């Protein structure tokens, strides 16, 4: 048989073309799938168990997709709910779903898939030799203390867990952390479509219309069958071409021909991309290679301290021209002052401080190769310490010197500018990733929980 999967956008909260979504619903999909998360914006969202995206934007888009689901009469599946896919963000999306259902007079059956991992479970797996690091391996072996220091640990679900949620007959599936492709591949695999095509088509469609000539339009659809898959975009003027589709195998992938998933890997080395017409592409020749064991990727984040920042604007031509010299001199001076006034020294038990020259080399630092001749420079100071109070106190110590420190000892004190008052901004807790591992499990559901609940107080579904 064939399976039609509609993907409204690369991620919930990013937006999509409403007209394209209407065309997608008219296309009569069998399921609607959308990703809800990423690690692109760093470890904070996993560590804090919060969403990177606006609640209002998320709610508005989710309401539109729930209405589309009702019109199409098919399941709606969300993966990596609330950015990080923790149990807390799954419940956050569940609450939003309930709000919308009550507002619209719906009654919906919702399956929630939990991906959060107790530290004790992972520690036990380590003891049995069932946890291994992914390349590149950095740092010492994991210990039980490392795991218990994690604010949150999640395992990435695959097609098997999403399939289990779909089989409950739920109207809506809200999943914790998943691989980007698991949502899209699950139903085609359940329906007996070609597994290689299912995983390959899922990889191409995972970011919505990024595989098309109008990447910001969002909405794409994939038809899977027993031999291949066909990808198309639904926005006005958007086209999928062999080039735009093939290029997506390079996206966020260390090998353009191999894609690793919990139960095996996709081998796209023999894939063929052919234009079905001027806007659709058919992919054949992909192969799914099953693994001998079932392994899920683990992501974990732990508290690394607290941060306070301070920003000054330097516009004096002489200081801008000599900004690196000035910053080196300022940094040395400030560290001596911190040591003499607080007794703290730079390091894990004391504090950390960074000076970044925005407009010069703030992104790359010493790796910067492009010449820069700015008329002004933003000097950003980032202070990290074990407590927020300590980080802020150090930033306040830096404050007057950032404003008035001279380039040389024999000149008048300069005056620079702070763009706001107070100059210090408390950023709160700082998290760091501490797990880049895989865990072997006997059954795909061993590390995941599945619950089905009704939401809303209406009669219609």
Q: Read off the pLDDT of residues 117-174 as tens digits, 9 standing for 90 and up.
A: 999 999 999 999 999 998 777 666 788 888 999 999 999 999 999 999 999 999 999 9
How are strands ordered across the β-sheet holding 287-290?
A: 258-261, 264-267, 287-290
Dist CA 322 CA 326 (whole Å): 6
Q: What is the pLDDT of residue 398?
A: 97
Q: What is the pLDDT of residue 372?
A: 80
Q: What is the pLDDT of residue 151?
A: 97
Query: Crossing angle for the helix pair 195-205 and 182-190, nearest 10 degrees?
Result: 150
Q: What is the pLDDT of residue 138?
A: 67
Look at residues 219, 234, 163, 232 and name the one whose alpha carbon lies nearest to residue 193.
163
In this prediction, the residues of the chain whose per-residue pLDDT falls under 70 are: 138-140, 459-461
DSSP secondary structure, 65-119, as one string: HHHHHHHHTS-EEEEEEEET--HHHHHHHHHHHHHHHHHHTB-EEEEEEE-B--H
DSSP 376: -
Cα angle value 425/428/429 (rounded, 5°): 150
Q: Read off the pLDDT of residues 361-406 as tens digits, 9 standing for 90 and up.
A: 898 888 888 888 899 999 999 999 999 999 999 999 999 999 999 9
Burial class (CB in 10 A: 0-12, 13-18, 19+), 153: buried
Dist CA 315 CA 459 (whole Å): 64
Instruction: Report how far apart the first and last C-alpha atoms of the chain are (Å, whole number).
Output: 27
Dist CA 197 CA 344 (whole Å): 58
Q: What is the pLDDT of residue 157?
A: 98
């Amino acid at each position: 048989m064939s399976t039609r999967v509609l993907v409204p956008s690369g991620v919930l909260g990013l937006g999509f073309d409403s007209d394209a979504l209407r065309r997608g619903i008219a296309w009569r999909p069998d399921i609607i799938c959308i990703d809800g998360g990423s690690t692109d914006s760093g470890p904070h969202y996993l560590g804090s168990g919060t969403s990177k995206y606006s609640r209002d934007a998320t709610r508005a888009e989710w309401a539109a997709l729930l209405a589309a689901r009702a019109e199409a009469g098919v399941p709606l599946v969300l993966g990596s709910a609330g950015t990080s896919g923790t149990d807390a963000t799954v419940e956050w999306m569940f609450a939003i779903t309930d709000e919308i259902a009550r507002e619209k007079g719906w009654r919906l059956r919702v399956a929630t898939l939990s991906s959060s991992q107790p530290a004790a479970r992972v520690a036990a797996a380590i003891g049995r030799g069932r946890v291994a690091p992914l390349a590149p391996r950095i740092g010492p072996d994991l210990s039980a203390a490392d795991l218990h220091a994690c604010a949150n640990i999640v395992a990435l679900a695959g097609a098997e867990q999403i399939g289990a949620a779909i089989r409950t007959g739920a109207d809506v599936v809200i999943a914790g952390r998943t691989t980007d492709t698991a949502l899209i591949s699950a139903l085609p695999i359940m329906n007996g479509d070609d597994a290689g095509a299912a995983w390959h088509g899922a990889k191409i469609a995972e970011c919505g219309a990024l595989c098309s000539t109008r990447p910001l339009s969002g909405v794409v659809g994939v038809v899977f069958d027993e031999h291949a898959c066909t990808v198309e975009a639904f926005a006005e003027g958007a086209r999928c071409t062999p080039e735009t589709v093939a290029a997506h195998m390079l996206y966020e992938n260390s090998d353009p021909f191999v894609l690793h998933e919990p139960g095996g890997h996709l081998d796209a080395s023999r894939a063929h991309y052919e234009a079905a017409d001027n806007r659709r592409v058919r992919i054949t020749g992909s192969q799914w290679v099953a693994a001998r064991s079932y392994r899920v990727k683990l992501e974990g984040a732990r508290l690394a301290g607290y941060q306070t920042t301070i920003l000054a604007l330097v516009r004096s031509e002489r200081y801008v021209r000599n900004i690196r010299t000035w910053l080196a001199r300022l940094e040395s001076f400030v560290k001596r002052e911190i040591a003499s006034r607080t007794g703290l020294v730079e390091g894990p038990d004391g504090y950390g401080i960074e000076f970044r020259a925005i407009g010069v080399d703030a992104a790359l630092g010493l790796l910067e190769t492009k010449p820069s001749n700015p008329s002004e420079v933003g000097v950003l100071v980032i202070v990290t310490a074990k407590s927020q109070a300590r980080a802020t106190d150090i930033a306040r110590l830096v404050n007057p010197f950032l404003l008035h420190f001279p380039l040389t000892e024999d000149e008048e004190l300069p005056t620079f500018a702070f763009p706001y008052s107070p100059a210090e901004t408390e950023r709160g807790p700082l998290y760091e990733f501490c797990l880049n591992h895989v865990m072997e499990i006997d059954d795909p559901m061993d590390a995941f929980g599945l619950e089905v609940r009704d939401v809303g107080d209406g009669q219609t579904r």
